[in-house]
Structure 1
Amino acid sequence: MTKQPDLRPERPFFSSGPTAKPPGWSPDKLDFKSLGRSHRSKYAKGRLKYAIDLTRELLGVPDDYLVGIMPGSDTGALECAMWTMLGARPATIAAWESFGNVWIQDAVKQLKLKDLQVLDADYGEIPDLSAIPQENDVVFTWNGTTSGARIADTDWLAPDREGITINDATSAVFAMEMDWPKLDVTTYSWQKVLGGEAQHGMMILSPKAVERINSYDPEWPLPKLFRIKKKGAIDTAIFEGATINTPSMLATEDYIAALEWVKSIGGRQAMFDRADANAKIVKDWIEATPWLRNMVPNPAQQTNTGVCMVFQGDWIDSLTDEERSAVPGKIARKLEELDVGYDFNGYRDAPPGLRIWCGGSVEPEDIERLLPWIEWAYEELKAGNL
Structure 2
Amino acid sequence: MTVFNFSAGPAVLPEPVLLKAQSELLNYRGSFQSVLELSHRSALFEGILDDATSLVRELLNVPDDYEILFLQGGATLQFSMLPMNLAQTKRVDFIDTGGWSQKAIADAAPYASTRIIASSQEDQYRSIPTGPFSSDADYLHVTWNNTLEGTTFREVPQVGVPLVADFSSSILSEPIDVSQFDVIYAGAQKNLGAAGMTLVIMKKNLLRRTPDALGSYLRYDIHAKHHSLYNTPPTYSIYLTKLVLEWMKEEGGLSAITARNRAQAAALYDALDRSTLFSNHVVHENRSLMNIPFSTGDETLDQAFLTYAERHGLVNLKGHRSVGGMRASLYNAMPDAGVEALITVLHTFEQGER
TM-score relative to the length of structure 2? 0.87
Name the amino acid aligned to 1:73: G
Picking from 28, 32, 47, the partner of 2:22 is 28
Q: Given the superposition, is the C-alpha separation of residues 82 and 178 from structure 1 closer, same or farther in structure 2, using an over 3 Å criterion?
A: farther
Separation (CA, whole Å) in 2 of partners of 1:56 and 1:102 = 29
Cα contact 1:185–1:205 (8 A) shared by 2: yes
Cα contact 2:295–2:326 (8 A) shared by 1: yes
1:192 deviates by 0.9
Name the amino acid aligned to 1:40: R
Separation (CA, whole Å) in 2 of partners of 1:208 and 1:249 = 27
1:306 aligns with 2:300: no
Residue 32 of structure 2 corresponds to none
Separation (CA, whole Å) in 2 of partners of 1:141 and 1:114 = 18
Root mean square deviation of aligned Cα:
2.5
1:52 deviates by 1.4
Deviations 1:86-110 (A, max 9, x none): 24363211121211110111123x2
Residue 227 of structure 1 corresponds to 219
Residue 82 of structure 1 corresponds to 83
1:17 deviates by 1.2
Q: Given the superposition, is the C-alpha separation of residues 179 and 119 from structure 1 closer, same or farther in structure 2, using an over 3 Å criterion?
A: same
Residue 117 of structure 1 corresponds to 116
1:331 deviates by 2.1
Residue 141 of structure 2 corresponds to 139
Cα contact 2:89–2:138 (8 A) shared by 1: no
Separation (CA, whole Å) in 1 of partners of 2:300 and 2:119 = 27
Q: Given the superposition, is the C-alpha separation of residues 288 and 54 from structure 1 closer, same or farther in structure 2, using an over 3 Å criterion?
A: same
1:13 aligns with 2:1: no
Deviations 1:225-276 (A, max 9, x none): 422345xxxx5334x341x432333322221111110000111111111110
1:330 deviates by 3.6
Residue 184 of structure 1 corresponds to 182
Separation (CA, whole Å) in 1 of partners of 2:97 and 2:197 = 24
Picking from 291, 306, 311, the partner of 1:332 is 306
Residue 65 of structure 1 corresponds to 66
Cα contact 1:279–1:304 (8 A) shared by 2: yes
1:305 deviates by 0.7
Residue 209 of structure 1 corresponds to 206
**1:161-180 pair list within 5 angstroms:** 161=160, 163-180=161-178
Picking from 222, 237, 253, the partner of 2:225 is 237
Deviations 1:15-74 (A, max 9, x none): 121221114332324465343132122222221222112111111111121001010122
1:173 deviates by 1.3
Deviations 1:308-334 (A, max 9, x none): 1233xxxx5xxxxxxx33443342234
Q: Given the superposition, is the C-alpha separation of residues 44 and 117 from structure 1 closer, same or farther in structure 2, using an over 3 Å criterion?
A: same
Separation (CA, whole Å) in 2 of partners of 1:115 and 1:125 = 22
Q: Given the superposition, is the C-alpha separation of residues 165 and 208 from structure 1 closer, same or farther in structure 2, using an over 3 Å criterion?
A: farther
* Unmatched segments (≥5 aa) in structure 1: 1-7, 317-323
1:249 aligns with 2:223: no
SS in 1 for 2:140: strand
Aligned length: 342
TM-score relative to the length of structure 1? 0.81
1:172 deviates by 1.6
Separation (CA, whole Å) in 2 of partners of 1:115 and 1:140 = 13
Cα contact 2:152–2:288 (8 A) shared by 1: yes
How many percent of aligned residue pairs carry the same amino acid?
Answer: 21
Name the amino acid aligned to 1:16: A
1:184 deviates by 0.6
